[in-house]
Amino acid sequence: MGEPLTTFTAGDLLPGTTLNSNFQNARDGLLELICAEAIDTTTVPKPFYINSGSGWIGLCDGNDQTKLEFVGFVKSGQNVGAGAFAQVYMGEGVIVKGFSGLSRGSKYYVQDDGTIGTSVGTYEILVGIAISTTEIILVKGSFEYLGNTSSGGGTNVHTAPSKARIAIVKVFGAKTGDSSNGTHERAASIVISKVGATSNQASMIVQGSSGGGGYVNSIQLSASWSGDSITTKLYASPNGSADSDYTGPTITVYYYR
């Protein structure tokens, strides 16, 4: 390994063994790309991404947001240094060989140590589905989870992961009765995106009792996305009064890419 695929010029004789190898590599989705770091796949294929700086390949990491963009697998049986070529499998539907102990039919994800497993790492990176104990069919995920942030009510700013494209904003909280309000629960959720529908809002109407009298509270949840910041706001209009921050429940923002 470590050498680019054979190239030819006009007039060259084409050895049958080379042609067979090149055709087989094309059939199997096998290419050669330059490594941005030392990569050892002596015993097992490893998932890789394309380094945004160099355009070379590096190993995926389920706990590093700069290494989430899974592209394919580095073929097993290699041990190459940075700047050298490595053979890689790319393309959905390509069958990657060289594993052991896989569970047929199970989905596999990148783990926090760069290996693959059936559980999701800190961040969700689907790499394929096992078709035998030694083979995976390469499948890329979509709408993959990137974690969450939380805040109280009122107005708050959340920092979204740089790779996030969709956010689900949820609020839930129970309020116990007191001299002004009866017992009630509040819950709502909205969806926003980094591009397109960058803002949204939802209303909740809660009703309780105050010394036998009626109590109506209109609670508004809104969110807007600008750059890497999502601004959430929870405010109330009790019994038609002026709006005011509503700070009781917790707002949680869930991020997906």
Q: Are 147 and 164 in contact (CB under 8 A)?
A: no
Q: What is the pLDDT of residue 206?
A: 62
Give residue limits of the domains in the chain.
Answer: 16-138, 145-256
DSSP string computed for the chain: -BSPPP---TT----HHHHHHHHHHHHHTEEEEEBSS-EE-SSS-EEEEE-TTTS-EEE--TT-GGG--EEEEEPSS-EE-TTSEEEEEESTT-EEE---S--TT-EEEE-TTS-EESS--SS--EEEEESSSSEEEE---SS-EEEEEEE-SEEEEEEPPTT--EEEEEEEEEE---SS---EEEEEEEEEESSS--EEEEEEEEEEEETTEEEEEEEEEEEEEETTEEEEEEEEEETT---EE--SSEEEEEEE-
Mean pLDDT of all residues in 112-118: 96
d(CA 163, CA 194): 10
Structure tokens at 222: 């809104």
Q: What is the CA radius of gyration of the chain?
A: 26
In this prediction, residue 208 carries a pLDDT of 54
Q: Nearest Cα to 59, choosing from 96, 114, 113, 140?
A: 114
What is the pLDDT confidence band of residue 220, given thresholds at 50, 70 and 90?
A: confident
Question: Nearest CA to 154 among 253, 255, 254, 248?
Answer: 248
Number of residues assigned to the chain:
257
What pLDDT shows up at residue 231? 97
pLDDT of residue 89 exceeding 80: yes
Q: What's the mean per-residue pLDDT of the chain?
A: 85
State the pTM of this model.
Answer: 0.78
Predicted confidence band at 174 (pLDDT cuts at 50, 70, 90)? low
171-190 mean pLDDT: 63
| Token code pair at residue 142 | 């979509």
Cβ-Cβ contacts under 8 Å for 192 (sequence gap 6 or more): 166, 167, 169, 198, 199, 200, 223, 224, 225, 230
What is the reported pLDDT for 1?
Answer: 41
